[in-house]
Chains A and B, each alone.
Chain A
Amino acid sequence: LFPGVRQAQWLTKTKLVEGLPPAVQGVVDNPAHGLQELEERAKHAVSHARLWDTAEVAPRREQYCPVLFENLIHICRLMSGKYPSLSKRMLARNCRIAATWERESILLQVRGLSGILLNSMTPIPPVASKEEILATKEHVLETFYPIAPTIDLQEVNVYKELNDTGQCFGDGYPYSHPHTLFFLESANVRTNRFRPEQLRAKMLMFAFGNALAKAKALHGNDPKVLEQPVVVQSVGTDGQLFQFMVFQLNTTDLASNDGIKNLVWIDSDRNLYEKAQCVPEVKKRVVTKPAGISGFQPDTFKKFLALYLHGTV
């Protein structure tokens, strides 16, 4: 559906803020983290994923999207030489998420494989200040009258209301706080991939699901306003375009339409590079476009790294 994020906002009772929150922006701008030297390595990572990884001429998206993600995560993980507390993170692949909540007497739930999840031992501190949270009381959620907000959602008979994030919390799992979710749109055919708008909506729903499950595990199943808001980040990409999102769950009281709302900061449609030319383009015996990565934007990688480092720095 076209206004995907707006529908997701209504379903999760969230207020949207454009751009990344100031805490993450601070990590990006801080020169002490040495983000400049990493530019070279990020460029190599992109070139490796897009150009050099295969014995054929050019790798397909199913191959280069996960490889690019792995390379970027590898660079981020190597920063734990500088920040030892980064080793308190664990990556979980193919984890299943399940969360249920009530929204104006409609029971909604989020289920399914939620991509790759990065867990950490310590939770991310809340990103918005108390005043901002209280200010969301005034914010009115936009409705789509006459379209019902649950349009395009699959209706199923739910026999068990499940709330868990695929890990057993009760058994003392040390990395119990969901930190960041990663979504890779790596289908080769364009129609099988999510459009950026829909990808953002999917990211929002899954981040909300994870945060809700964690909140219910921490504070119980009763709907209430949370003293300690739960923050979950999310990054979605199709190999070239990146969407960054920080979601803060302020309340689990989702049945009514007023009161404190949740917050989400979205930074959308950031290109990591313009074009990756595998074979030089030659027109009339003259090389017009040399082989290589053109239009590399280091800011996108800096934001990726900042989201990774957020919470421990």
Chain B
Amino acid sequence: MAALGARRVLRPGRRWFSETVPGAPSPPASPLYPPVVASLTAKSKAAKSRRLQRFNQRVHAAATVEEKLRLYGKLQRPKYTVYPQTFALNADRWYRSFTKTVLVPGMPPRAAAAKPPVAAAGTTPEAGRAPEPGSDAPRAAQAPGAADAAKTPEPAAGAAPNLDMGELRSLACDALLQESFYQNKKRPFLYRDQDHTPGPFLTQLVSTLAAFLSSRNPLLADSSLDLNPEVNYYWHHGEEVVVHGHRKGRVDSLRFQIDDNPHLQIRVPKQLPEFVPLESDLGDVPVIDHKPSKLPLFKKQYENKVFIGSKVADPCCYGHTQFHLLPDKLKRERFIRQRLEDQIEVVYRSNGIASLFAWTAAQAMYQGFWSEADVTRPFVSQAVVTDGKYFAFFCYQLNTLALTAETIKNNPRKNICWGTESKPLYDVVEDGNVKGFNDEVLLQLVRFLLNRPKEL
């Protein structure tokens, strides 16, 4: 049509004969019949796929993120509730297969390299001696002196200013002693040991450390600290055949929901930088042939929530660090008594993987990505899982949200989780002294809190 029109314009002076140029009859401007597509309401596979496409288009075309989330989780069906803190054996392998995550032991390369140099003068006299509050006065006099010298930022190109380990250690020990020793508390309630001492200790430690380090890390100055927030995520992954009932024999996608309550979480307005590029492949995702209910995992039908801790309107919409406290049911002595020592680390790992996947994926959904519209940049968050004494550190990089049965076919990307073993922060607290304080754990925690985008 366009070519005929162009030819007519190109020969304006030529006289047209009464007969038109023989050729293909000019096609009509619009098709005479509507396009032939599968029906919407028939009981056929084509109709089902057309309904699915309509749904996807509706979600793509949603105006706001809230509308998108509402449409995404509108249809309620029975789904598996995944608990991050679980006693199930080898739960972290199952969780890795549900979330397509690769577990890399140790810390990511960027975080390990960016180690702030520690003031050697401050540490050597205190390295062998456990800090005591009786000698607080001389140490307090020494620490501000060292702190003043250490805090003046050096103008050397790219060199991070020295951290004063003495000051940080005294903060940590004070928080620990206050909660466990100084404050007169009643005896802990039955099976509520974690609320009595480690919970408040963690809150105090994180809040004082975050305030102390806010001068180093301007991202922390804009951060938002949540106490006992809620983090939820709902996703589809894999397929199963319906076993019994009027829908027997039909193929259904597996639905999962994580409802998590971290003890503490820090949200920031800017995103943390990626550890490795988006398409990197650092390992294999375990493949499990059994149904998820063998884990054991149970199905329930309730609201499909996607929530990072606050609503979409909050400017602090990216996550920085989460802190998880393991409940009494999962304490180490119980596992040792049941002769399941190797499952202790599994508890920490499964908690880290599941919670961080839920958090990063919910953050990605708040930015408008979902399983049909995969993420264009990796989402990064960190977590610390502890039971009051032993700390394990996790970093998570979300590279893909496309986990449903159709989208996972051509998706080479995998999510990556780096994790450490659990290490004790101190040995024992006796008579107002903290014995056997481990500086490495504190240093790792401080490194976590100091993580920030490169521009800042």
Contacts and interface: CB of A to CB of B under 8 A. Distances in A.
B134 A166 contact: no
B36 to A, nearest CB: 42
Interface in B115-164: 133-134, 136, 140, 144, 147, 151
A226 interface: no
A55 B211 contact: no
B443 interface: no
A99 to B, nearest CB: 15
Contacts of B222: 41
Interface in B292-310: 305, 307, 310
A55 B307 contact: yes
Contacts of A77: 207-208, 210-211
Given A74-B225, A90-B175, A96-B184, A48 B310 contact: yes
Contact of A167 (B133, B183, B200): B183
B377 to A, nearest CB: 24
B136 A174 contact: yes
B90 interface: no
Given A48-B224, A172-B432, A174-B133, A167 B204 contact: no
B227 interface: yes
Contacts, number: 103
A52 interface: yes
Interface centre among B185, B229, B310 (most CB of A within 10 A): B310
B147 A84 contact: yes
A168 B184 contact: yes
A86 interface: yes
Interface string A173-196: 111000000000000000000000
Nearest to B303: A55
Given A71-B224, A74-B225, A172-B136, A166 B183 contact: yes
The contact size tier of chain B is: 35 or more
B230 interface: yes
Interface residues of A, number: 39
Contact of B224 (A44, A51, A93): A44
Majority secondary structure, B binding face: mixed
B456 to A, nearest CB: 14
Contact of A52 (B182, B232, B311): B311
B313 A52 contact: yes
Given A77-B211, A93-B200, A175 B174 contact: yes
Interface string A60-86: 000000110011001001101110101
Contact of B211 (A52, A81, A93): A81
A234 B136 CA distance: 28
Contact of B182 (A55, A93, A173): A173
A74 B147 CA distance: 23
B162 to A, nearest CB: 15
Contacts of B55: none
Interface in B196-236: 200, 204, 207-208, 210-212, 214-215, 220-222, 224-227, 229-230, 232
B449 to A, nearest CB: 13
B174 A174 contact: yes
A45 B182 CA distance: 31
A166 B210 CA distance: 27
B310 A52 contact: yes
B86 to A, nearest CB: 23
B315 interface: yes
Interface string A80-109: 111010110011111110000000000000
A288 to B, nearest CB: 20
A172 B133 contact: yes
29 contacts: A41-B222, A44-B224, A48-B310, A51-B311, A52-B311, A52-B313, A52-B314, A53-B226, A54-B230, A55-B311, A71-B224, A74-B224, A78-B214, A80-B214, A81-B214, A81-B221, A84-B147, A86-B211, A87-B171, A91-B204, A91-B207, A92-B178, A95-B183, A164-B184, A167-B183, A171-B133, A171-B181, A174-B174, A175-B178
Interface of B: 133-134, 136, 140, 144, 147, 151, 171, 174-175, 178, 181-185, 200, 204, 207-208, 210-212, 214-215, 220-222, 224-227, 229-230, 232, 305, 307, 310-311, 313-316, 432
Given A78-B221, A172-B133, A172-B134, 5 more contacts: A41-B222, A47-B313, A67-B227, A84-B147, A174-B133
